[in-house]
Amino acid sequence: MITAQRKPMEEIFQSVERFGKILLLGCNECVTVCHAGGRKEVAMLASALRMGRLKQGSPLAVDELTLERQCDPEYAEELALAIDKYDAVCSMACGCGVQTIAGRYQGLPVLPMVNTTFMGASERQGVWAERCAGCGDCVLGLTGGICPVARCSKRLFNGPCGGSSKGKCEISPEVDCAWQLIWDRLKQLGQTELYTRIMEPKDWRTARDGGPRRIVREDMAI
Partner 1 sequence: MKSDSNLERVLAAGHFAVTGELGPPRGANLETIKEKAAHLKGMVDAVNVTDNQTAVVRMASWAVSLVIKEMGLEPNYQMVCRDRNRLAMQSDILGASALGITTMLCLSGDHPSFGDHPQAANVHDIDSIQLIKMVSTMCEQGRFLSGGEIDTPPHMFVGAAANPFGDPFELRALRLAKKVAAGADFIQTQCIYDFPRFTEFMRQAHDMGLTEKTKILAGVTPLKSAGMARYMANKVPGMSVPAEVVKRIADQPKDKQAEEGIKLLCEQVEQLKTIPGVAGVHLMAIEWEHRVPEIVERAGLLPRPQL
178-215 per-residue burial string, b: 16 or more CB within 10 A, e: under 16: bbbbbbeebeeeeeeeebeeeeeebeeeeeeeeeeeee
Of 86 and 179, nearer to ligand SF4 (C-beta) is: 179
Which of ligand SF4, partner 1, none binds 201 (CB below 5-8 Å, type-dependent)? partner 1
Size of the site for partner 1 (CB under 8 A): 31
Q: What residues does 128 pair with on adjacent strands?
A: 122
The one-letter amino acid at 11: E
Does position 132 interact with ligand SF4 (CB under 6 A)? The reply is yes
Size of the site for ligand SF4 (CB under 6 A): 24
CA angle 179, 138, 33 (to 5 degrees): 85
Is residue 75 classed as helix, strand or coil in its secondary structure? helix
**x/- map, 113-152, partner 1, by CB under 8 A:** ----------------------------------------
Q: Please choose, out of 23-31, 38-46, 70-78, 149-157, the segment that lies near ligand SF4 by the rule CB under 6 A.
A: 149-157
Is residue 157 classed as helix, strand or coil in its secondary structure? coil
Does position 202 interact with ligand SF4 (CB under 6 A)? The reply is no
14, 58, 122, 158: which one contacts partner 1 (CB under 8 A)? 158
- Report the C-alpha gap between 97 and 30 in whole angstroms: 11
Kindly state the smallest distance separating residue 133's Cβ from ligand SF4, in Å. Answer: 4
